[in-house]
Structure 1
Amino acid sequence: MNFKRTIEFIRDIYQTKDFIPLHEPRFTGNEKKYVEQCIDSTFVSSVGEFVGQFEDAVADFTGAAFGIATVNGTAALHTALHLVSAGPGDEIITQALTFVATCNAISYTGARPVFVDVERESMSLCPKKLKDFLATHAEVTQKGCINKNTRSQIKAVVIMHTFGMPGKVKEILDICNQYKLKLIEDAAESLGSYNGAEHTGTEGYLGVLSFNGNKVITTGGGGMILTQSEEIARKAKHLTTTAKVPHKWEYNHDSLGFNYRLPNLNAAMGLAQMENLPLFLEKKRQLAHTYRDFFSGEAATFMEEPKGSRANYWLNTLLMEDRRQRDQFLELTNQQGIMTRPAWTLMSELPMYRDMQHGELGVSRWLEDRIVNIPSSVIL
């Protein structure tokens, strides 16, 4: 792979000799206008009209019946896990190739993550490996799905749509139904990604999104729970507003709740960003195609969306020949002021999760050695 030629190509795309970030936000619409309106209203915290409008806009775009806005994606996932009654002694199956927040949210409930391998095509949870793991280690009883090795109850499966590439939700959902498991979609990175006609985060029991500053759209910080159920939406909103019972003046709380509601100020920015989301997705697709064409003549492999899906190409991903080439490319590009990043260290290798049960993780380790994410900011 010609590193120098690649660096020149990226600089030519972004038309700058200055530092090029991995993914920076774009504010080209009504962000300032709506934020000023929010400030003028004095409703800058979790009560205000922009929160509901933002929730409706995201729900409408994704096809979810309801959206419940939270302070960040981790809070959304923590709440989603709470809604499936995950607690101390329980287990949640997820992938080792993910951002640490996925596993942290599991740990916040007192449950333990169990790691299953990903597939190469989507870099997300592999249905076959999940099926094999459950066939070997799980049994369905009157109490639910029990891990035969630990005798703990497996409460749910969390699939993470890696870098915006849609995972095989329908296949995994079928397996979950067979084993009486709830499926939660960590769609933090995949706003604007689809499996067929279905938006990521809308097919499982619950889905979660993130609006961190490095995502396709941002609220500064922020997340959202997606659901098709009015009852679950009501419970989620209640939990994320400290489980406060509505009353004109009294402070009554009927259960353990969380102070996770998204502030109106952030929602104002998010609503403006949603107005430009179709444009951002179109421009990101154009950038991905530009990269794809360029790397077709290089040794590195450009990761394209899986067949039958439509990715948002949140982060454009290359697969290098091996870890040595990956590290050489990371070193040179970052020295030259072009921000590139590897995949995350596998969760099964982190000190707090090293002792957790896991299946064979050959594909996860193979991808970890080769993945490089390259600049992916929207070009307007």
Structure 2
Amino acid sequence: MKLRETIDFIRSLYGKEAFIPLHAPVFAGNEKIYLQECIDSTFVSSVGRFVDRFEAMVAEFTGAAYAIATVNGTAALHVALKLVGVDEGSEVITQPLTFVATCNAISYCRARPVFVDVDKDTLGMSPDSLEAFLQKHAMVQGGVCINKTTGRRISAVVPMHTFGHPCRIDRIAELCERYAIPFVEDAAESLGSYFKGRHTGTYGRVGVFSFNGNKTITTGGGGMLVTDDEALAARAKHITTTAKIPHSYEYIHDEIGYNYRLPNLNAALGCAQMERLEEMLENKRATATAYRHYFEGVNDITFVEEPVDARSNYWLNAIILDSREERDRFLMESNGAGVMVRPIWRLMNRLTIYETCQSMPLDNALWLEERVVNIPSGVRL
């Protein structure tokens, strides 16, 4: 493996001397101006014109009819699951190769994850594995999908677009319709990614995005729920605002709600970031192209490219090593040389909190877990 040459190449992209982070935020637009405007207005919490503008900008960019800002992506996913009917004792089919927030949001609803495999090329949910699970375990009774093995209702399917690479979401949508299961797109990592010309997060009834500090654009911490359903959008805004009935001075709440609304201060950052999103996406695509060309000349490392029919945002560039041993050596030497790289997440079914959940064979996920490494992917100045 050309380990030293690879480290030197990354340094040539990002700078030879400084520590190179995996994905640092870049504030090169109107961020300071908008933050000062927000402070001067005194509307720094969950009400203000920047929240409204940020929601409108994300809706327009993704093509969704409505966007509702939340305090983080996990909160957006939690609410999205509740909106489609995930409740205590039900099951949600998802993938084991994901960030823990996916499964945690399911658990917040007191539901139980069920794991199907991923595809090696997309790193996201495999429609074949999902179909095999449904054929073996699912039956539809009275418009409700039941897991024949456990007797529980299957209340949702949650695919995740890993590192911004779209999964085969059209086939997943077809399977969910066939088995009467709503699905929620965990598009936390894929703002700026498209599948067959359609933005991720807009295939299901609800999609969610994240604006954490390491995402393509950031609000410091923040998330967004998108949908084309007007009634669902109104309910999302209501329950994320503590379910308070609108009134000029009285405090009346008609159900258990959540204090999940994004502060205006954070939204001010988001508006400035959205103004430069197209520029940042092109910058990141140029970096991915440079990586792809470089790794074409490295026999024992494969660069993860955008899948067929997709345009990826390349949020985090990823490479696949030949073995766990080679992966570990790459991780140790690169981080030791000041170039931040990281392994893929520990699979959810291998965490003690989720190890008893029902699973399909997860051969692809296990293979990827042993070999995938993320390499520096931030916007290059």
TM-score, with length taken from structure 2: 0.99
Partner of 2:126: 126
SS in 2 for 1:107: helix
Partner of 1:239: 239
Partner of 2:148: 148
Partner of 1:171: 171
SS in 1 for 2:145: strand
CA deviation profile, 1:228-259 (whole Å, cap 9, x unmatched):
11111100000100000011211111111100
Distance in 1, matches of 2:215 and 2:17, equals: 24
SS in 2 for 1:334: helix
% of aligned pairs identical? 58
SS in 2 for 1:218: coil
The answer to whether the aligner puts 1:348 opposite 2:324 as a matched pair is: no
CA deviation profile, 1:282-317 (whole Å, cap 9, x unmatched):
000000000000000112000000011100000000
Distance in 2, matches of 1:375 and 1:345, equals: 20
Distance in 2, matches of 1:316 and 1:25, equals: 16
Distance in 2, matches of 1:84 and 1:253, equals: 21
Aligned-pair distance for 1:16? 3.0
The answer to whether the aligner puts 1:367 opposite 2:376 as a matched pair is: no
Distance in 2, matches of 1:357 and 1:83, equals: 24
Structure 2 unpaired stretches of 5+: none
CA deviation profile, 1:31-58 (whole Å, cap 9, x unmatched):
0000000000000000111000000001
Range with bigger deviation, 41-50 or 143-152: 143-152
The answer to whether the aligner puts 1:185 opposite 2:185 as a matched pair is: yes
Aligned-pair distance for 1:127? 0.4
Partner of 1:25: 25
Amino acid at match of 1:166: P
Distance in 2, matches of 1:37 and 1:331, equals: 45
Amino acid at match of 2:378: S
Partner of 2:215: 215
The answer to whether the aligner puts 1:44 opposite 2:41 as a matched pair is: no
SS in 1 for 2:370: helix
Amino acid at match of 2:149: N
Distance in 2, matches of 1:199 and 1:81, equals: 20
Partner of 2:328: 327
Partner of 2:294: 294
Amino acid at match of 2:238: H
Distance in 1, matches of 2:57 and 2:166, equals: 21
Distance in 1, matches of 2:277 and 2:202, equals: 18
Aligned-pair distance for 1:355? 0.3
Partner of 2:268: 268
Q: Give 4+ residue runs of structure 1 displaced > 2 Å after superposition.
A: none
The answer to whether the aligner puts 1:318 opposite 2:322 as a matched pair is: no
- Native 8 Å contact 2:207 2:227 kept in 1: yes
- Native 8 Å contact 2:166 2:190 kept in 1: yes
Distance in 2, matches of 1:314 and 1:157, equals: 23
- Aligned residue pairs: how many? 380
TM-score, with length taken from structure 1: 0.99
Aligned-pair distance for 1:143? 5.7
Partner of 1:62: 62
SS in 2 for 1:93: strand
Distance in 2, matches of 1:171 and 1:72, equals: 28
The answer to whether the aligner puts 1:112 opposite 2:112 as a matched pair is: yes
Partner of 1:86: 86
RMSD: 0.6
Amino acid at match of 2:91: E
